[in-house]
Amino acid sequence: MAHLSLSTDSISTLTSEVSDEEMFREHRSDSFGTSMSEEEHDQFQHDASTSVYESLREGVSADVVQLELVSLRMSANASDHQVRRAIATAFMRRVQALMESGKGAGEAVRDVFTNYKVVVERGLFDKNKDEKNDQVDLLLQIQQDLIHRAKGETILLFTAKQLYDLDVIEEEAFEAWWEDERSKRTEELRRVRSQTQQFIEWLATAEEEDSEEEEEDSEEEESE
């Protein structure tokens, strides 16, 4: 990642209060075969995201945060998608709070995701699958939340890099998210992801270089 310049000063600070809630309602089917009402859904999102955020703020261990989240999910019969959305909201809220206290975006993102990596990972079940639906969903939830936050473009760029460095989100998932119509269907979504384009381009370049190196190694072995 040394070739990727992540300058906070070069990224504009914009905010938006526009909601695109309808964008994700198609995912609200419950994993246990029943559906939550709108009121129950909103209550779970509030309770779960608040619980996780307060735990992050207080420095509670990742294992305890995960146990609390599982308990809330079971009591509300919430879906995996709803859990990922609550995690995205809480993590982004914590990152913003750390930035408001004086930390840079990169440092704030690194602190939150490094210390609580396991909480994110346990909401993803597609690491060994061809389709990266869970990872794409998490990226969409983070992107959606950052529409409403100051320096959302900056935070998304550093978050993408950190999730990649921690091996939480795979390259294929980033590519699928970037091409997904849900990630670019509104002006606000396109704006908040604009600075992350340099990271996506870096991934593509790195993949091409790896392919070329593999071809060269193969040719050398054949010549020997």
Res 212: pLDDT:
54
* H-helix or E-strand spanning residue 114: helix 105-115
pLDDT bracket for residue 222 (50, 70, 90): low
Q: Is residue 180 over pLDDT 60?
A: yes
Res 187: pLDDT:
98
- What share of the chain in percent tops pLDDT 90? 72
- For the residues 30-38, what does the mean pLDDT come to? 51
pLDDT bracket for residue 7 (50, 70, 90): very low
pLDDT bracket for residue 28 (50, 70, 90): very low
pLDDT bracket for residue 170 (50, 70, 90): very high
pLDDT bracket for residue 41 (50, 70, 90): confident
pLDDT bracket for residue 30 (50, 70, 90): very low
pLDDT digits (tens, 9 = 90+) for 204-216: 997 666 555 555 5
Res 52: pLDDT:
98
Res 45: pLDDT:
94
Q: How far apart are CA 109 and CA 119, in angstroms?
A: 15
pLDDT digits (tens, 9 = 90+) for 46-91: 999 999 999 999 999 999 999 999 999 999 999 999 999 999 999 9
Q: Is residue 217 over pLDDT 80?
A: no
* Whether the Cβ atoms of residue 134 and residue 124 lie closer than 8 Å to each other: yes
* Whether the Cβ atoms of residue 171 and residue 203 lie closer than 8 Å to each other: yes
Contacts of 167 (CB under 8 A, 6+ apart): none
Contacts of 141 (CB under 8 A, 6+ apart): 24, 84, 85, 87, 88, 89
Res 214: pLDDT:
54
- For the residues 168-179, what does the mean pLDDT come to? 97
Strand partners, 1: none
- For the residues 125-133, what does the mean pLDDT come to? 95
| Average pLDDT across the chain, whole number | 84
Helix (H, G, I), strand (E, B) or coil at 35: strand
